[in-house]
Amino acid sequence: MARIYIVRHGIGVYNTLHRIAGHTDCPLTDTGIRQAQAARKYYRRIKLDCAYSSDLKRALKTGEIITEDKGLKIHKSKKLRERTYGKLDDLPSSLYREKGYFINDIHEFGGENEWDVAQRAIKEVRRIAEKEEEKKILITTHEAFIIYLLWAIDYERFKDLHDGDHVIPNCGTTVLEYRNGKFKIIRVGDNSYMPEELKVRN
């Protein structure tokens, strides 16, 4: 059985500007760095065997901070990236809500629809779980990626969650188990280890 710890990145610059980053490669804020440092303290009690990350700065830096004292190489993957909105990346999140971009077909803009992300997410996480069989795996990634991964695993339970809902807190942990080709969801977006002043959802 593989046990997978999926961590959303700390707060990034675009989170504070209320703009959708998508594939825009923005860095963590000072608060985001502190959130990752708090997560590192929690993960000191867990013996991770390997680490994977989206190649975007905000996720990769989060993974580097969490694994700083573990001596693990982080395997970067573009397939662990956030949802892209194509030409719509960088726009204010209020406009996405007004225009319905979170849930409408955005293929015409070169973006990924919800099930595009779901299929990309479950294929990549399954690939990693099967490669790292019987290991404890850290994956640092993005909110929409996590939401639509949950869709792909258990749609009836998570179908009311959408990108932009802010349901997965920054540096919160979602835990999965993978055995005999099937995923089991253990925890979703747990940030109980985060100091209260850093429990900011953005």
Domains detected in the chain? 2-198 (3.40.50.1240)
Residue partners of 196: CB distance under 8 A and separation at least 6: none
Percent pLDDT > 70 in the chain is: 100
Whole-angstrom Cα distance, residue 48 to residue 44? 9
Q: What is the pLDDT of residues 20-36, one digit of tens each?
A: 999 999 999 999 999 99
Whole-angstrom Cα distance, residue 181 to residue 163? 27
Buried b (16+ CB within 10 A) or exposed e, 112-151: bebeebbebbbebbbebbeebeebebbbbbbbbbbbbbbb
136 to each of 13, 23, 178, how far by Cα in Å?
A: 30, 27, 11
Mean pLDDT, all residues of the chain: 96
Q: Bridge-partner residues for 139, per DSSP? A: 6, 52
pLDDT greater than 90 at residue 200: no
Could you tell me the pTM of the whole model? 0.97
What mean pLDDT is predicted for residues 70-85? Answer: 97
